[in-house]
Amino acid sequence: MTVEFQVQGVRVSELARRYGTPLFVYDGTVLRDRFHGLRDRLHPAMEIFYSLKANPNISICALLHSFGARAEVSSLVELTTALRAGVPPQQVIFLGPGKSRQELAACLDTGIHAVVCESIPEVALVDELARERGVRAQVALRVNPRFAVKRSGLAMGGKPRQFGIDEEELFGQTDLVKRFPDVDVMGVQVYMGTRILHEAVIVENTTRILDLAERLAAALHLELRMVDVGGGLGVSYFDGESDLDAQVLTDGLNPVIEDFTARHPGTRLIMELGRYLTAEAGTYVMGVRYTKTSMGERFAVADGGTHHHMAAVGIGSFVKRNFPMAVLNRLDELPTEEWNVTGPLCTPGDTIGKKVPLPPVRPGDLIGVHRSGAYGPTASPGLFLSHGYPAEVLVHEGRCHLVRERDSPDDLLQRQRLYDPTAHDAADVPH
């Protein structure tokens, strides 16, 4: 008997038959366990905000919210998504280095908890928009700290960045509160980096950020009502990596949080997590179209690739490392061969797995990339070669829900215009 990958009892071949491939499948139970694994251990004063950037699907956001997550958004569409997913405005914060006037206005009009400002000119614009509306804007300041985090996939602090306001500069802004009368500067945010897999590093970051927030509040005479300590909690993808231990992490974090809340009982504490909450719950399922050999190497040419899963392709890293992969419809067969798993794009970069140990692959097989629930299609060049976005399916409580329809050719073409040689736009230069 062949053993198949299943999501809550639904066989992968059934999912592929029903929805076609390539396909992202999310397991609602894994999502819940991931959230609760941390939530149930973490100090209750620390709120978990879901960073929609990692996976902005409205159903993923709604499901995480039903478990207790709040939302951290960085665009007008992410804000709209979170609100439509049912997250109350007071549980939403908006962050990002280049917010538009329209986005800032939407923050004020919807009454979200905080706009996290990343520059002094942005604070000035928020002040102006608040005055126009006759409201007081709730603002937190994103700080680019002097210190940097070690052992992170992408370190943020201690470097020139477009994100946040330099620590040194902020400490000199002692008249900030007076200068912007319609802004209520009430919080501090710091994000140290992503893909951190060492519990002690996260504890150290959090400790330093809370300390920085306290010192900054004292220097600028702020009433500290919110501190967002970022997060950057990683998940393991590659050989030699291991997952964070939620127990070890919270054993380290909770005393630090307790210490802080004892001094600042009214301050909302926020941790913003993307990858950590969603990566594990997602599987990217590709159908194998052709198999062949080239100069002694085996190739499985699949219907999915770079355009949906740039992270697995390894763009941006020096050495391509393989995500965990398997032939999902024959899990019981031993990986006796090495296969290059490639996609339909006309570029050698469209290689999802290099020399992956797999059982003999045949056309029609379903190859899966595990831990693919974060930074998938929306972080990939989905329009390259005009293949468009794949379908996304959420399996929750044993039921399948199509949560994103596959793009059709009409979807992809509808915003293009075939030019008409006998007409032109009114704004054209006359000749």
Ligand X SMILES: *Cc1c(COP(=O)(O)O)cnc(C)c1O
By CB under 6 A, how many residues form the interface with ligand X? 15
| DSSP string across 323-374 | PPEEEGGGTTS---EEEEEE-SSSSTT-EEEEEEEESPP-TT-EEEESS-SS
Residue closer to ligand X (CB basis): 140 or 273: 273
Q: Does 28 bind ligand X (CB under 6 A)?
A: no
Going by their DSSP bridges, the two strands 46-51 and 70-73 should be labelled as parallel
Which of these segments, 47-55, 76-84, 242-250, 340-348, binds ligand X (CB under 6 A)? 47-55
Distance in angstroms (rounded) separating the CA atoms of residues 429 and 431:
7
Q: Does 276 bind ligand X (CB under 6 A)?
A: yes
Are 330 and 336 in contact, with CB atoms under 8 Å apart?
A: no
Among 275, 307, 370, 387, binds ligand X (CB under 6 A): 275
Interacting positions 187-206 with ligand X (CB under 6 A): 191, 194
Residue 111, CA atoms < 13 Å, CB-side half-sphere: 6
Which of these segments, 207-215, 272-280, 395-403, 413-421, binds ligand X (CB under 6 A)? 272-280
Q: Does 47 bind ligand X (CB under 6 A)?
A: no
Going by their DSSP bridges, the two strands 297-302 and 282-294 should be labelled as antiparallel
How near is the Cβ of 195 to ligand X at its closest, in Å?
6
Are 104 and 128 in contact, with CB atoms under 8 Å apart?
A: no
Nearest one of 95, 210, 195, 87 to 150, comparing CA atoms: 195
Among 7, 71, 95, 183, binds ligand X (CB under 6 A): 95
How near is the Cβ of 100 to ligand X at its closest, in Å?
17
Residue owning tokens 């602090």 = 157
Q: Does 237 bind ligand X (CB under 6 A)?
A: no
Among 51, 144, 267, 283, binds ligand X (CB under 6 A): 51
Q: Does 350 bind ligand X (CB under 6 A)?
A: no
CA dihedral 111, 114, 116, 121 (to 10 degrees): 60
Interacting positions 72-91 with ligand X (CB under 6 A): none
Which of these segments, 206-214, 225-233, 281-289, 404-412, binds ligand X (CB under 6 A)? 225-233
Return the structure tokens found at 31: 């999502």
Residue closer to ligand X (CB basis): 16 or 226: 226
Chain positions contacting ligand X, by CB under 6 A: 51, 53-54, 95, 191, 194, 230-232, 272-276, 374
